[in-house]
Amino acid sequence: MAVVNLVEDVVSSKPAAQDLLALRGVFEAIHAESCPTSFNFHMHTVYSDGQLQPEKLMEQAIAIGLKGFAITDHHTVDGYQQAQSWLTDYTQANPDRASSLPHLWTGIEVTSRLLDTEVHILGYAFDLTHPAMEPYLQKHAPQGAISSAAQVIASIQAAGGLAVLAHPVRYRRSPEDLIAAAATLGINGVEAYYAYDNPSPWRTSPRQTEQVQRLSSTHGLLNTCGSDTHGLSLLQRL
């Protein structure tokens, strides 16, 4: 994939952070070895429940050699905005490195309800200024009708993004039930590659990955990967 950094897409006139086609291409090609050193689509900063400052996160992303990633703080894009500002400044100060820098997409994690179960839905490449996203950028979990999975998925997609069910084997209901229900609502993908037992070094959990991949294929969904970093290293969950 050609890495695009902080430039306007000539065809769509959308910023790189909202390049949906490029992101879909990554999700279609992603595999068990992609995360966390090539791609990582689940990480948190101090703007929600993580320990990393956005600037330190960016420094790690570049040092690791990530090709693409998204910051998915809970119910806020403040961390993403700080990271994007840092990346813009870094690119201007280091134009010779622009082509090797990782592609940063917009991202968020939203607490939702699906089959009377609390689940988390990840959103990517959306327009963060779109009115449909406003209820989910209030720095707290949505309540009432706007917290339904149907509404969260529809809102992310209305803002031009992709909606993904996070860590589908962590919930009270079975992944079979939840993925089928989410697919019926039009969700785009599932977080197939995830480390459920927080191993060191990070590695996707084989049994759960196989289960989610099978369900993803059955329902024609995209697969994503993420470390779900809450600590000080992008190579670990905690």
- CA–CA separation, 12 and 32 (whole Å): 31
Q: Is the pLDDT of residue 3 over 70?
A: no
Is a pLDDT exceeding 70 seen at residue 85?
yes
Q: Positive or negative, the Cα torsion across 211, 33, 223, 53?
A: positive
Reported as a single tens digit per residue, the pLDDT across 194-234 is: 999 999 999 999 999 999 999 999 999 999 999 999 999 99
Q: What is the pLDDT of residue 14?
A: 84
Enclosing H/E stretch for 118: strand 117-124
| Predicted local distance difference test score (pLDDT) of residue 86 | 98
For residue 5, give both structure tokens: 């950094």
Specify the residue for token string 């790189």: 16
Running DSSP on this structure, what letter comes out for residue 21? H
The yes-or-no verdict on residue 10 having pLDDT over 70 is no
Edge-first strand order for the sheet with 103-105 is 39-40, 68-70, 103-105
The β-bridge partners of 114 are 117
Please give the Cα distance from 238 to 229 (Å, whole number).
6
Q: What is the pLDDT of residues 95-150, one digit of tens each?
A: 999 999 999 999 999 999 999 999 999 999 999 999 999 999 999 999 999 999 99
Q: Rounded CA gap, 156 and 151, in Å?
A: 9
Cα torsion 60, 64, 67, 68: sign: negative
Phi first, then psi, for residue 210 (nearest 5°) are: -60, -40
Which residue has 């989410």 as its token pair?
A: 182
Count of beta carbons in the 10 Å neighbourhood of residue 13: 7
What does DSSP assign to residue 48?
Answer: T
pLDDT computed for residue 238 by the predictor: 87
Please name each of the domains of the chain with its CATH number: 16-225 (3.20.20.140)
Question: Chain-wide mean pLDDT for the chain?
Answer: 94
